[in-house]
Structure 1
């Protein structure tokens, strides 16, 4: 089964599918030890690869190279990739889709924003005319072979959200996402207008959307739960705290206690990647 069809089967299985946002190979290693599905977050990639906010700086070859490394390290995980607006032009979007499918991406998310784009959970978003987005989306759908395609709208006004949701549900897109949806009631309304089209809900700490559990989302008719930035925000919190403690202790490293990560625990996590990539290759743990 292709990667796209494997994710498509999972989405339509009747159970909600969680996808965890990752921003580099190490965060992916942590997330992959807990979940079967990874989301290549544009927010996280812009932060980790460029040190910049997610407002359109990502160059598509950088994203493709990152996804290729992920697929080599995690051959059995679902990989859903954020390609923003398809890097502006429909032709570029299709070219990127061809590359991603060839290197083993499971699916992509294509949004209807226009430049300058914004994270889906911040103010100031502007959207393309619906007809212009549909033209780009349909070209991508014609280009892909088995790749799963998530059609995303960043509309914020309720009437426009429902108009676009209905139009996107009528396409051959596999899944629909309304990003930054602000209430449970709006989720219900979107679910009602899109028929049996699978629905994705994206939540981000401090974002516009309500914090909901997987069981709550499944009761609302959501098929996919995407978490864009849990690894990134946890890393920032932990690193900031570690630097404060190091300064407070005059540069003395803290004693390793049970549950803390030191050299051995970190190496053990990374050795799992060797096992995933070369399952028949037996290795003794590295001595520390």
Structure 2
């Protein structure tokens, strides 16, 4: 069976294909995406920070937070590649190299590194701070060198947040230089128009370009078809699960607080008791594995 990295690279080699990655932030949202047949997942850094730490995406998550979360998601189904946020690499060149090695060991198929300062913020917030280009190139070079050192593959995605602060030409130049060093995919964060998106894809070709589809952010809305037509080869949806979960749980919390009951929330998942919810997370496969190994705990079901 091809490895997750090999599968991701094969997808990127198909110029007629766009890789659609729903953003997941925990085991349940990852299972839901997997059960709906997505061929690649994206672990959102903002979602990881909020779900693990209960804090905003302001550079507070550590390598350990992100690696452990990515490893759990990546290994739910090894047939499906995971692309994960790696922020700034969490330090200088040595730390970026360690991050790369740790992500490889965790089973991550691809990850993106950015050029914000270590105390970063979400790419769709204002007043981001950008490191000098030589610092950014050292991050990319460290990731490439670490990949070579361990002799195992991972797709390196060069992300730049320089568009807002330095302008289009400087941002594209940074991505081109990152590609020369060995980055596999280009990620121009904070694209502000569809015309700019098309120009970037054309300038960076034949390198695959990633679109960060954050509805409500600074980037205009693209459908998958529109993104593919523009020239993107990967589209990620960081808020894919965050928005729906926030709205649904907020409504349930409000109902329970105000009425002393959660009947409407329960009605929305009618027929989904504990057993059915566990099925979403692999109960059937776990039972079958135990029986095949000679276990008897689940012979009569649950």
State TM-score, norm by structure 1.
0.91
Match of 2:227 among 210, 217, 220: 217
Write the mapping of 1:128-143 to structure 2, written as runs, cut at 5 A. Answer: 128-143=131-146
Match of 1:251 among 252, 255, 261: 261
Write the mapping of 1:52-201 to structure 2, written as runs, cut at 5 A. Answer: 52-144=55-147, 145-155=152-162, 156=164, 157-201=167-211
CA contact 2:3–2:79 (8 Å) conserved in 1: no
- After superposition, what is the alpha-carbon deviation per residue over 1:3-49, rounded to whole angstroms, capped at 9, x for unaligned? 22221111222310011111111111111112121111110010000
Instruction: Tell me which of the two structures has the higher relative contact order, counting C-alpha pairs closer than 8 angstroms and 6 or more residues apart.
Output: 1
247-256 or 75-84, which moves further after superposition? 247-256
Distance change (3 Å), C-alpha of 1:234 and 1:256: closer
Look up the SS of the partner of 1:237 in the other structure.
helix
Runs of 5+ consecutive residues of structure 2 not aligned to the other structure: none
Separation in structure 2 between the aligned mates of residue 8 and residue 79 of structure 1, nearest angstrom:
12
Runs of 5+ consecutive residues of structure 1 not aligned to the other structure: none
Write the mapping of 1:6-21 to structure 2, written as runs, cut at 5 A. Answer: 6-13=7-14, 14-21=16-23
- After superposition, what is the alpha-carbon deviation per residue over 1:36-75, rounded to whole angstroms, capped at 9, x for unaligned? 2111111001000000111111111122222222233222
Query: What is the RMSD of the two structures over their aligned residues, measured on CA atoms?
Result: 2.5
Is the counterpart of residue 204 in structure 1 residue 211 in structure 2?
no
Match of 2:250 among 231, 240, 254: 240
Alpha-carbon distance, 1:101 to partner: 0.8
115-124 or 218-227, which moves further after superposition? 115-124
Look up the SS of the partner of 1:109 in the other structure.
strand
Distance change (3 Å), C-alpha of 1:243 and 1:153: same
Distance change (3 Å), C-alpha of 1:99 and 1:116: closer
- After superposition, what is the alpha-carbon deviation per residue over 1:143-184, rounded to whole angstroms, capped at 9, x for unaligned? 113100100000122232232233233332111001111111
242-251 or 182-191, which moves further after superposition? 242-251
CA contact 1:60–1:96 (8 Å) conserved in 2: yes
CA contact 1:21–1:229 (8 Å) conserved in 2: yes
Distance change (3 Å), C-alpha of 1:252 and 1:229: closer
State TM-score, norm by structure 2.
0.87
| Residue correspondences, number | 287
